[in-house]
Chains A and B, each alone.
Chain A
Amino acid sequence: MSSLESQGSRQRDSDRKTRVHLSLYDRIKFILLFVIVYLILVWASLADNPLLSVGDAFNEVTRTRTWLLLLVVIEILRQMHFLVSEVLAPYHGIWQKYFQAVDSALHRFSDWTRYRLSRVIKAIIFIALLAVVLGAIYKETPIRALFLAPSALWRALPMLGQLLFGVFFVIIQFAAMFWFLSRGGVDTYFPDDIRTRFTDVWGQDHVLNRIRENLLFLEKPHEIEKHGGYVPGGILLWGPPGTGKTLMAESMAGETGKPFVFVDPGAFTNMFFGVGVLKVKSLFRKLRKLALRYGGVVVFFDEADSLGNRGMTSTGGQQRADRHSVPAIFGTSCHGGSYLSPSTASMLVRESFVVGGAAGGGMGGGGMGTLQALLTELSGLKKPRGFFNRILRRTLGMRPKNPPKYRILVVMATNMPEALDEALLRPGRIDRMYRVGYPSKAGRVRTYEGYLAKVSHSLTAEEIDKLATITPYATGATIKDTINEALITAIRNGRTSITWPDVVKAKQLKELGPPEDVEYIERERHAVAVHEACHAVMAHRVRQHMAIDLATIEKGSDYLGMVASIPPDDQFTRWRTEYESDILVSLASLAGERMFFGGDNSSGVSGDLESATTIASLMEGHWGMGSTISSHASNRQFEVGAPGGGKNDSTKELKRALGDRIEDNLSTLLIKAEKVLKENRSQVLALAHALETYKTLSGEDVAAVIEGVQGSIIDGRPYRNRTFLAKIEKYHKAALVAHREHRTPDIALPPLSGSAQGQ
């Protein structure tokens, strides 16, 4: 340590009294050069006379090239001078004074001029030595030999040409292969090629207005540039699938007076390393050319998430993780997720994505430098344009012209914005990000009207409005599909005009999938009906922010039955009471099954319990709807742990572990659910009977059965009849016995007779 500390800083060159020591190479490099020239000359002599001995060759060269010897001697003297200067300070001092004057004279020239002069001198020395060597080879005077060299080169050109052809042949093969591989995936549309206009995009007016604004700036850049601003260069359209992002881009292509370049999502997926980079470069070369020629260009990257993300390493991981990490509530026999409002359901999916996706990681996309190349092209250095501009002007000592302003509007669309690289989204690359969400009700009405106008139908304005209400998360694509399905249903029934039942059936078909036409055994049919009836009655009684859309016990591809609900209004905030009612609806199946089946319950409640637990966890840990205040998300992020968990401390006891609190909350709500169902026992059995009878009920009919009133299709009034209710209770008891003994119930499902309806 002390020896290290005792070492001072390296002495500055200006403080030295002696010359800086030369490295060995610097000391011998010129002598080495002269020796090489000497040896070449000896070799030339030996090659010239086959009888010449090596000694005589040295002898001859030494005698005939005394100047070379002189140079060697001068160089040796110079090196001796340096050596003495390195050792003797006074000697060095004398020369310093002399060279100071020379230096100051030389420094009258600029650094650049001195650099150029030194290069000229070096070139002259090189040519002189070359002349000597060539003279020795050609047996001519050095000057003459120098002039003979080009003719020798000319004679050698055919051979050089052959060699170069060989080299270029290999290079051309590679270049051609990569050129062909880097083609494709990019389509260019010119104005009037596409007929889609902004008027063809319905229900997304707020986004369209913004896009229109961007196009306006592209068409008239001076409007913003004269005020010191700049034309926004990038737009990201993100949102759920089918909300019209690509259609918007298509309408942009139709509206703009500039060329529109469509980049295929698979354009940057390639087999060989570097092809993606070539594609990006070739794309942007094309864009720059179009931008200069037409004054601007729009480029659209569809499914931009295919470009990948540098933060994730393995390929396709996120998509796979997403696919495989769907919560059990969406894949169980009870289809537990369907009892939740769509926003809650999407939140649960997102939660599982965050947990599962982060662990899974990985997203490939283009990869292999493609994204980096794209980032650089989007906002990298803009080099001067053109070979002559860059090379010729610079060779002639002229400054290349400044690169022109390329007006390129980059539009990207994705339904996975979280998969995009952060650097891609920074201002300067993507300046504006617009969410293309689900259309508003007015937008949905406009969209339904638009698609219905293309077919024959008998729907009234009220029915269209109602249709828009009961399809809150319908997108342009789903609306188009539903209307088409309704038309198919009508044609199958021998009609060409769509009616209201056709639309309702099409909607059910699209949302639930086709029924599997599976006949339950009686006791299981009754169990499923009671299960769904519990959900429906609970939803009807406690959940005000959602309306039942339909209830069914027809088995689908991944459910035995379901109760689907829809939000009657476009609501953007959610409240504790609403989440509690969601949990109550989920827990209703467990409470109901235990109540109606003597404490027994099926595995069909697993999905319901998972969704209830997830919501309860989020309420307790995230949304400030529990007994603690801190956010579990932040606690997890900072690894500080959840509050509570102590056993003995009375203060901590209040703040028990998160899991305990969630369990307590769920238990409380389960008791409440049992109470509600107990109070509505006859309504549950009535609705179960209706489901067993009709299999599928609309939301209105569900309400009619529970309230005992006339519904849109089903008359619920018979279910107010006490005698009929007693029959239903009796049937239930028989089904319960059959359930316990695993056999067919003793009595059949009581029919809805005219007498029952009359009483």
Chain B
Amino acid sequence: MRLRTVGAVVVVALVLSGCSQPSQKYGASKSEGVYFTVPVSWHEITMSQLNALEAKSTEVAVLEKLPLVRWEMAYSPGEKIGAKETLSLRPTDSPVAFVRVRDLFPDEANALSYNSLRDVLQPITDWVTNPTSTTPIYNIIDDHEVIQKGARGVRTIYNFTEFGVSQSVDQTALMSPDHQKIYVFIVRCTTICYNKNIKVISRIADSFTVRGAK
């Protein structure tokens, strides 16, 4: 009789779970072994959208690196935020979570260091070591080493002022154990937006997990 009850409960649980929605969205590349989560309400900016935009770029460096990108995608709650807003460094009013996995050039791989990982978006090292008149106003909120199963690197949280607007960035840059690959995960928006969504942004950044390619 107890077995019958258990069976009935299992069946009901199955049916109910089938009707409910997932608690969050899972950004994942199982082939690259990279995972993160974003709230369900966030929309996805696909890899093809991002690739298409990058392909139109006139910058040689961007075009050179484009074939090396293995996986990239972005999420944002802002309806107006698309590939262009994601890839530009202009501050956004809504948070943008961007992930990229890219192979490194050999000379890049040889020169790779924690400093170069920090400088993946902005030359933070230069800002700190060689401040000049053109150095923007910045503030490094946190910087610590991250060691995961499939990679290691640094997570840096900072804000800087550019275009007259203060922008906050929570970036995690990791390299694969063989130094052949770089994993970049950035969540950014204006500092006002950041402060407003700090819990969500932190949770998203914390969820970034690299297991490595299988």
Contact = CB atoms under 8 A, between A and B. Distances in A.
Nearest to B149: A50
Interface string A35-73: 100100000000011111101101110110010010010
Contacts of A28: 3-4, 7
B89 to A, nearest CB: 28
A738 interface: no
Nearest to B31: A139
B35 A49 contact: yes
A323 to B, nearest CB: 68
Interface string B6-36: 0100110111011011111010101000011
Given A49-B26, A51-B209, A139-B30, A58 B3 contact: no
A45 to B, nearest CB: 10
Contacts of A24: 3-4
B7 A69 contact: no
Interface string A66-88: 10010010001000000000000
Contacts of B209: 50-51
A56 B28 contact: no
Given A28-B7, A59-B20, A59-B22, A49 B30 contact: yes
A51 B37 CA distance: 7
B207 interface: yes
Interface string A1-31: 0000000000000000000000010001001
Given A56-B23, A60-B22, A69-B15, A35 B30 contact: no
A69 B36 contact: no
A43 to B, nearest CB: 15
Q: Which of B13, B17, B30, B211 neighbours the largest number of chain A CB atoms within 10 Å of its CB?
A: B17
A56 B17 CA distance: 9
A548 B211 CA distance: 110
Contact of B13 (A58, A60, A139): A58
A31 B11 contact: yes
A48 B11 contact: no
Contacts of A52: 26
A55 B26 contact: no
A48 B18 contact: no
Interface string B68-106: 000000000000000000000000000000000000000
A48 B30 contact: yes
A62 B11 CA distance: 11
Given A50-B209, A139-B30, A59 B7 contact: no
Interface string B33-58: 00111000000000000000000000
A59 B21 contact: yes
A35 B17 contact: no
Question: Which DSSP category, helix, strand, loop or mixed, fits chain B's interface?
Answer: mixed
Given A35-B10, A56-B22, A56-B23, A49 B17 contact: no
A63 B10 contact: no
Contact of B17 (A32, A58, A76): A58
Nearest to B27: A51
Contact of A69 (B14, B22, B28): B14
A59 B14 CA distance: 8
A58 B23 contact: no
B18 A55 contact: no
A59 B211 CA distance: 23
A38 B35 CA distance: 24
A59 to B, nearest CB: 5
A231 B37 CA distance: 88
Contacts of A56: 22-24, 26
Contacts of A49: 26, 28, 30, 35
Contact of B18 (A32, A53, A62): A62
A506 to B, nearest CB: 92
Interface in B118-174: none
B211 A50 contact: yes
Contact of A62 (B10, B14, B35): B14
A72 B22 contact: no
Contacts of A55: 17, 20, 23
Contacts of B10: 35
B14 A31 contact: no
B36 A51 contact: yes
Interface in A345-396: none
A53 B37 CA distance: 11
Nearest to B211: A50
Contacts of B14: 38, 58, 62, 69, 72
Interface string B164-198: 00000000000000000000000000000000000
Contacts of A51: 26, 28, 35-37, 207, 209
Nearest to B28: A49
Nearest to B13: A58
A59 B207 contact: no
A33 B40 CA distance: 33
Nearest to B11: A72
A69 B18 contact: yes
Contacts of A63: 18
Contacts of A59: 17-18, 20-22
B8 to A, nearest CB: 9
A59 B209 CA distance: 22
A53 B23 contact: yes
Nearest to B23: A56
A49 B214 CA distance: 13
Nearest to A28: B7
A60 B22 CA distance: 8
Nearest to A62: B18
B29 to A, nearest CB: 11
Nearest to A68: B14
Contacts of B11: 31, 72, 76
A263 B7 CA distance: 66
Contacts of B24: 56
Nearest to A65: B18
Contacts of A60: 22
B206 to A, nearest CB: 10
Contacts of A48: 30
A56 B24 CA distance: 8
Given A51-B37, A52-B26, A56-B23, A31 B7 contact: yes
Nearest to A60: B22
A605 to B, nearest CB: 89
Contacts of B35: 49-51
Contacts of A69: 14-15, 18
B47 to A, nearest CB: 18
Contacts of B36: 51
Contacts of A72: 11, 14
Nearest to B25: A56
Contacts of A139: 30
A55 B11 CA distance: 15
19 contacts: A24-B4, A28-B4, A31-B11, A38-B14, A49-B28, A49-B35, A50-B35, A51-B26, A51-B36, A51-B207, A51-B209, A55-B23, A56-B22, A56-B26, A59-B17, A59-B20, A63-B18, A69-B18, A76-B11
Given A28-B4, A49-B28, A59-B20, 14 more contacts: A32-B7, A49-B35, A51-B28, A51-B35, A51-B36, A55-B17, A55-B20, A56-B23, A56-B26, A58-B14, A60-B22, A62-B14, A62-B18, A76-B11
Task: Give the 4 A-B residue pairs with the shortest CB-CB distance, closest first.
Answer: A62-B18, A58-B17, A56-B22, A51-B35
